[in-house]
Structure formats: structure tokens, C-alpha cells
Amino acid sequence: MSRYLIRRLLQMIPLVVGLSVIIFLLLAAAPGDPVDLLVFGNPNIKPEDVARLKRLYGLDQPLYIRYFKWLWAALHGDLGYSQVYKVPVLALMWDRVGNSLWLQIPAFFLSLAVAVPVGIYSALHQYSTADYIATFLTFFGVSIPAFWFGIMMIYLFAVWHPWTALPGLDWLRLPAGGFSTPGITRGLALYLDRLRYMLLPTLVLSLLFMASYTRYTRSSMLEVIRQDYVRTARAKGLAEQVVVTKHALKNAMIPIVTIVALSIPALFAGAPLTETVFGWPGVGRLLVEAVLAADFAVAQGIIIFLAALVIIFNLLADIAYAVLDPRIRYD
């Protein structure tokens, strides 16, 4: 196992470097750089100023030199400067990843807490009314676009909110997007305020997560409970609860653990649509804005960071597989 681990870790290095080359080339191949866009907004700019700016930003150099300079700096922990935000990419990413996690982690755990029991119940009571309802809701959750659902939630809770006329329900009139109320910067008030802003986007995100986790849990459980060893356990006269929890559930959880492990990088990636609709300053929204504004250093930094996370969590998922299923051996 340790040899396998070392091999996989060593393989990760060329993989990340290769990815960085591809991402660098793809972004560089897109026409127009930040200076070109600047020129277009300013009819009075002179060609010598364009040349000066390109030199200052290093955009006049051949692609391979730009790449190696970027790689060398990245190895020293410097992912460059954002041309749009005028701050180091790492500092910008750090803040935004933090903001994304404020949404993603509660949504992730909330969805797991609901999806796994619902998926198990649904599988154990296949074709029951509850199963049909759960299946319909998961189908709904997988199918609806996040931005539409987000807008509906905003309309319902921020614009329309008829129930707030009832006494005691005023708190259910929620902010129509944003991150926090300016001016509230510390203490319990800050957390309560943040909670109000988080409620709607977290709800939207968790419903989307929930749908796919429920489907995985249900199908995995269905597969396991039809296996011979479960039938044998039942035949031996074991209590149904023991059969389900000790024999079926443990094995059914193996693919779910993999899916969950592979979803973790997505938590850091933020949710571009949900964050945009709710005006949440997360990494997903930052990535969309960076691509649109030709802010290459930021786009590149985020994509490579996410790619590295995907590779790392793939490895962790493989390890988790081996731990949970003794039949799997890595050499």
C-alpha cells in the first residue's frame, strides 16, 4: 500500500504540471488580453502606451517564457496578480474559497443528513408511496436549473413573503442576495446576520446535492439488499435492523463514500450559478468573472487549484475504498 501511495504521489507531479500547461495554453489561445480590452474602452490610448503596458505586464514575451516564469513563481507560492482586482491571486482566492465554504459545507452536511436516510428508506420500501415521492423529488432536484430555483426562492422569500404579515414570522423575510449587512462586522450579530444571508443559497445548494446523493444511496442499497449474503443473514434469523445496518449498509456505503470524496473538491470550487444569483462572493463567481474579464492569472490559479484538489481527492477515494472493502488491494 505504501509503495502504491508513493507511486501515486509521484504521478501527481507530472499530472499537475501537464494540466497547468494545457490550462495556460487554452487561456492564452483565447483572443484578447487585459490590455487589448483596456484599449477598446479608451479611444485616446496611444500605440506606445499599449506597448508599454504589455511590457509591464509581461504580455509581450513568448508564450513559453511566460509559462516558465509563471511556473517558477507558482513553485514559490506566487500565483501572480489579478489585473482586475489589483491584489495577489492567492489572497483573492483565499478569501473567496473561504466564502464558498460558508455555503458549501452546511449544504453538504445538510444534504448528506437527509439524503442517506431517505435513500436507504426508499430502497428498503421500493415502490411504496414514500419511494415514489422521494424518487419524484430527486428527479425534480436533478432536473431543475440552479439559477431558476434560486430566483424562485428569492421571489418567494425576499420579494413576496406573504407570511411575514403573521406575528413572529418576520424573520422569514430574507435578504434577496448579498453576503452580509454592511456595518455588522463582529460578534454574535455578525454570525446571525450571515446566517440570514446563507439560508436561501444553502437551501438551493443542499437540495441540488441532496437529489444526487439520494439517488446514489437508493441504487447502491437496492443492489446490496439483493445479494446472497443479505438473504443468508436473514435466513439465519438475524433481526431486520441488524441485517440492514451491519450487513447491507456497510457494503452499500462503499460507492457512496467514493462519490462523497469526489464531491469534496467541488465544495472548494464553489457554485458559479448559485453564487452569481445570490450575489455571494465565492470562488465560483470569481472564476466566471475572471474568465469574462480576461483576468488570466486568477482564472489559471483557480482552475489549477481545483485540478490539484480533484487529483488529491481521487487518491483519497481510492484509499477509502481499500479501507472499506478488504477485497481491494493496491500494490
Partner 1 sequence: MRHWRWSSLLLALVVTFGTATLVGAAPARPATGPDTVVLFTQQEPSCLAPQPDSCQMFVASVIRSLIFTDLVGMTNEWKYFPILAEKIPNLKDGDWKVLPGDKMQVTWRIKRGFTWHDGRPVTAQDWIWAWRVNMHPDFPTAGRDVAERVENILAPNPYQMTVQWKKKYAFANLGAAGSGILPKHATERIFRQNPARFDQAWGTGVPTIGNGPYVLREWQRGSSITVEAYPNWQGVPPYLPKERGVRRIVYRFISDTNTIIANILSGAADAFDETAVPFVQGLELEARLQRENRRDWVLRAEPGLIWEHIDLNLDNVHLRDKRVRHALIYAINREELVQQLFQGKQPVSHSFLPEKHYGFNRNVKKYAFDPARARQLLAEAGYTPGPDGILQKGGQRLSLRFTTTAGNRTREQVQQILQAQWRAVGVEVRIVNLPARAYFGDALPRRDFDLAMYAWVFSPTSDCEGLYTGDTIPTPEKREGQNYPGYKNDEVTRICHAVPEELDEGRRAAMLRRAQELWVEDLPVIPLYLRSDYTGHKAGLQNFLPTGADTPVTWNAPSWRWVR
Question: Which residues of this chain interact with partner 1, rule CB under 8 A?
Answer: 30-33, 36-47, 49, 52-53, 56-57, 81-82, 84-87, 92, 95-96, 99, 151, 154-155, 158-166, 173, 175-183, 185, 276-281, 285-286, 289, 294
| Alpha-carbon gap, residue 230 to 41, rounded angstroms | 69
| Alpha-carbon gap, residue 206 to 191, rounded angstroms | 20
Q: What are phi and psi of 207, to 5 degrees?
A: -65, -35
Nearer to partner 1, 81 or 108 (CB): 81
Nearer to partner 1, 197 or 213 (CB): 197
Residues in the chain: 331
Which residue bears the cell 452499500?
A: 252
User: What is the per-residue DSSP string for 113-172?
Assistant: HHHHHHHHHHHHTTTSHHHHHHHHHHHHHHHS-HHHHHHHHHIIIIII-GGGGSTT-GGG
**Smallest distance, Å, CB 164 to partner 1?**
6
| Alpha-carbon gap, residue 11 to 24, rounded angstroms | 20
Using CB atoms within 10 A of its CB, is residue 96 exposed (0-12), middle (13-18) or buried (19+)?
buried
**Smallest distance, Å, CB 35 to partner 1?**
8
Nearer to partner 1, 63 or 239 (CB): 63
Nearer to partner 1, 9 or 56 (CB): 56
**Smallest distance, Å, CB 36 to partner 1?**
4
Nearer to partner 1, 185 or 232 (CB): 185
**Smallest distance, Å, CB 76 to partner 1?**
17
Nearer to partner 1, 82 or 206 (CB): 82
| Alpha-carbon gap, residue 108 to 113, rounded angstroms | 9
**Smallest distance, Å, CB 97 to partner 1?**
12
**Smallest distance, Å, CB 233 to partner 1?**
47
